[in-house]
Chains A and B, each alone.
Chain A
Amino acid sequence: MRAYLDFEKPVADLEAKVEELRAMAGNGVAIGEELTRLQVKSAKALADLYANLSPWQKTQVARHPQRPHLSDYVRELIEDFTPLAGDRKFSNDDAIIGGIGTFRGRSVMVIGQEKGSDTPTRLKHNFGMARPEGYRKAVRLMEMAERFKLPVISLVDTAGAFPGIDAEERGQAEAIARSTDAALALHVPNIAVVIGEGGSGGAVAIASCNRVLMLEHSIYTVASPEASASILWRDSSRAQDAATNMKITAQDLLKFGIIDAIITEPPGGAHSDPSAAIQATAKAIESALKDLSTLSGEAVRNARAEKFLNMGRKI
């Protein structure tokens, strides 16, 4: 059963009618023409709706519970995926998943946040909000990727790093800083894809990459719309205004030169056809990796450094 967002109500109503007619058709009522007409109308309404999503609507789509998460991407794209656990310092953080596997015939390192898809897994993965151990595991895996010359694929999907007492106690800030540092020091190519939410420092830590791609309806923010509203206006209920004013969509960020490309989502968003979204992402990653494969290690690192240094100097 597809879960509809509030703003999808007109489409939901149409689709309900389609279902009704389909049931009647099953009972031998001749309504084939009407059914086709409604189906076309419903598909068009969905496409139109998704072609003009507001930043706040995109925020809801990016957080949609049925949107494909890291585990879905790994399952569909990475053969022989071998998850690796632990930061070798304190513990293992399941908010960040990492491991080695094969992507389109070559060995790669995959790192990313997993939000979970039901209550037990959401708790297990702490809703995708990593603690210092998560970022220290990411550092460990990036350094391993460097040693074994594995390109790094980062799948970003987090509201942000976990703001808790234990996280602060063990140096959340330092862990994030070191992870960004590690990503920028790599001589192997790294590609980040924001598949849902790219939330603040907790996202940057694994998204400081040669190529940063975003799914069409994902968001990438300096602070979540709720946090931004609370900082700017001391009123988190103005999240909608914050989402609009802060330019968090893939389309705005591509224009600003902050990201490198947008991956088109199927009509109705990634959650309406997860497999199509995942395959489109794979194609984009493959082409980015191919572009970078001709560069020497030194050139890979320099190109990445220069890309970030030049960012925003001319807009």
Chain B
Amino acid sequence: MNWISNVVPPKIRSFLRRETPENLWVKCPESGQLVFHKDLEANLFVVPGSGFHMRMATKDRLAATFDNGVWEDIAVPEVPLDPLKFRDEKRYTDKLKDARTKTGLQDAVKIGYGTIESVSVTVAVQDFDFIGGSLGMAAGEGIITGLTTALQRKTPFILYAASGGARMQEGMFSLMQMPRTTVAVQRLREAGLPYIVVLTNPTTGGVTASYAMLGDIHIAEPGALIGFAGPRVIEQTVREKLPEGFQRAEYLKNHGMVDMVVPRGEMKATLARICRLLMHIPAAA
């Protein structure tokens, strides 16, 4: 026990403790290889040996996207909470509270504004760690806010999509985010501003079946699972084994649904180039 643990009240003490990562070593889900956490972080959470793309927390994603890791947070308007007064094993409001504590996020979608290689952009990140990145009223409002911000500031809109689908606990309010976000996509499109979707692992359900498949350009991260129905549902329907690589990024590219599969290390440069080209901004000398 050092002097700090004697002086600092217990609540803050636990907060301090969390500063050191719990797992210094992370196991690659594909190769089983053990990677030092710091090395993984330095490599944008791509396992150095296997090239496996791990999930990336929202703040890491934004930091890796914007110049100097600096951006302006764009607030998402509040939405009614728990419209159905839903409970399963626990109350939906408790589930939300837990997700907020765990991720430090208000909901699954966060908006940032800043520059990529000096080009102004509005970026939305959907975080799978927030109740599976599910699309509820708050996430839908987040997407709409991002698109509206891009429209007002005349910037491209970049979305990092990740979602298991609808926020079941919000019922039809969740489903209605499909047309709602689509209206916002149309307004950006009609203003002649680019909308670039980066599909990350996994993106499925109502998210793929609305704004995540309506981009001008679709980029996928290597190995990302992308589809409408989840593999489990499909397997139950067709009662046969799914083909190798089914619904993976490379499969989607082969089937004409995404423009390119881009490793994370090249993502920023790719996004900057696309934005410059579509916005008629000459490359910096």
Contact = CB atoms under 8 A, between A and B. Distances in A.
Given A163-B229, A185-B186, A176 B209 contact: yes
Interface string A157-175: 0000111110111111110
Contacts of A29: none
B238 A164 contact: yes
A206 B231 CA distance: 25
A305 B178 CA distance: 12
Interface in B164-189: 166, 168, 170-176, 178-180, 182-186
B36 interface: no
Given A177-B214, A222-B175, A314 B228 contact: no
Given A173-B213, A312-B79, A247 B168 contact: no
B176 A308 contact: yes
B171 A247 contact: yes
Interface stretch (B37-45, B110-118, B242-250): B242-250
B256 interface: yes
B173 A258 contact: yes
A180 B186 contact: no
Contact of B211 (A164, A177, A227): A177
Contacts of A220: 172
B228 A163 contact: yes
Interface stretch (A16-24, A30-38, A97-105, A228-236): A228-236
B255 interface: yes
A304 to B, nearest CB: 8
Interface residues of B, number: 51
Contacts of A231: 168
Given A222-B171, A309-B144, A176 B183 contact: no
A181 interface: yes
B227 interface: yes
A204 interface: yes
A150 B53 CA distance: 49
Contacts of A181: 182, 185-186, 214
A164 B88 contact: no
B80 A315 contact: yes
A127 B237 CA distance: 13
Contacts of A185: 186
Contact of A256 (B172, B184, B208, B256): B172
A222 B87 CA distance: 16
Nearest to B170: A222
Interface string B199-227: 00000111011111110000000000011
A232 B168 contact: yes
B209 A201 contact: yes
Contacts of B166: 200, 222-223
Contacts of A314: 80
A184 interface: yes
A311 interface: yes
A164 B179 contact: no
B281 interface: no
A221 B172 CA distance: 6
A281 interface: no
B255 A169 contact: yes
Q: Which of B175, B210, B227, B243 has the most CB of A within 10 A?
A: B175
Contacts of B123: none
Contact of B179 (A161, A162, A184, A313): A184
B186 to A, nearest CB: 6
Interface in A204-239: 204-205, 208, 220-223, 227-228, 231-233
Given A171-B255, A256-B83, A314-B80, A308 B168 contact: no
B257 interface: yes
Contacts of A167: 228-229
Given A177-B214, A315-B83, A258 B229 contact: no
B176 A311 contact: yes
Contacts of A168: 227-229, 234, 246-247
A173 B172 contact: no
Given A164-B234, A170-B255, A201-B206, A258 B183 contact: no
Nearest to B237: A163
Interface string B153-172: 00000000000001010111
B261 interface: no
A184 B255 CA distance: 26
20 contacts: A163-B234, A168-B228, A168-B234, A168-B247, A173-B208, A173-B213, A180-B210, A181-B182, A181-B186, A184-B179, A200-B206, A204-B176, A208-B182, A223-B166, A246-B172, A256-B172, A308-B179, A312-B137, A314-B80, A315-B80
Interface of B: 79-80, 83-84, 86-88, 137, 144, 166, 168, 170-176, 178-180, 182-186, 204-206, 208-214, 226-229, 233-234, 237-238, 242-243, 246-247, 255-257
Given A167-B229, A220-B172, 6 more contacts: A164-B238, A165-B242, A171-B256, A204-B178, A256-B172, A258-B176
